[in-house]
Amino acid sequence: MTDAVAVPTNWLGALSRYLRRRRFAHFAGLLRTVPPPVTILDVGGDELFWRQVGALGQPGLAVTLLNCEAQPTTHPAVRTLLGDARDMQQFADDAFDVVFSNSVIEHVGDLADQARMATEVMRVGRRYYVQTPNRYFPIEPHFLWPYFQFYPYALRAWILHHGQVALERGTLRWGRAASYEAALAGARSIRLLNAHELRTLFPGGRLWRERLVGLTKSLVVYGNWD
């Protein structure tokens, strides 16, 4: 969006941090089963996440961030690389102890693109942990609009072109797309997944449901931890 104006959302930021810490507690429980040193590939992540969950001080933990745009890093245990989640040929098979990805797979394209990412995640990591918003949660998590994910693309684009609240890193921002074409591209850039699709993309993986007020807000698929 353009013309974005931040909206004070202390409660939303606090909720976002709480959910992130709760999710990481589940991941950390699995991570404790892996003897150090541990190499983690974070697909689409940033250093701030690992700082907020208090993981960067752990001895023997090395994190590699993979993004399509450069991410700043200051901690010696974190390095950053450019790449595509759908094609990680710069890495050998089982190059990392763990591949971690938080709210990324819904952004990589259509179902075929998501399948390519899933294949690469399972190839590159000895273990994997992939989180994504649940398609059937009533509030679309990026635009905070009820059932926005089920609207026709034309209606989604109209809403984004005429002004919409969006969630960016725990902050609400009001803005509008520069053109209808840009709004349509934005609407098409997110494809939320359901539990069945996630199980299909990661055969053999285990599913964990992250709940909020009794509803499944996010889905996590993880595998090869036993």
CATH of the domain at 43: 3.40.50.150
Per-residue tens of pLDDT for the chain, all 226 residues: 444 444 444 555 566 667 777 778 899 999 999 999 999 999 999 999 899 888 988 889 999 999 999 899 999 999 999 999 999 999 999 999 999 999 999 999 999 999 999 999 999 999 999 999 999 999 888 877 889 899 999 988 888 887 655 555 444 455 667 788 888 888 898 999 999 999 999 999 999 999 988 999 999 999 999 8
Our CA angle for 15, 20, 25, nearest 5°, is 125
Q: What span, in angstroms and rounded, lies between the C-alpha atoms of 31 and 213?
A: 27
pLDDT in the model for residue 168: 54
- Residue 191 in contact with residue 109, Cβ under 8 Å? yes
pLDDT in the model for residue 184: 87
Q: What domain range is 195 assigned to?
A: 2-223
pLDDT in the model for residue 10: 54
pLDDT in the model for residue 14: 66
- Which DSSP string corresponds to 39-104? EEEEET--HHHHHHTT-TTSTTEEEEEEESS-----STTEEEEE-BTTB-TTS-TT-EEEEEEES-
pLDDT in the model for residue 163: 65
Total domain count for the chain? 1
Tokens of 21: 């810490």
Tokens of 31: 């991570």
Does the N-terminal peptide bond of residue 37 adopt cis geometry, omega within 30 degrees of 0? yes
- Residue 226's CB is within 10 A of a number of other CB atoms, namely 7
Q: What span, in angstroms and rounded, lies between the C-alpha atoms of 220 and 218?
A: 7
- As a whole number of Å, the CA-based R_g of the chain is 18
pTM for this one? 0.87
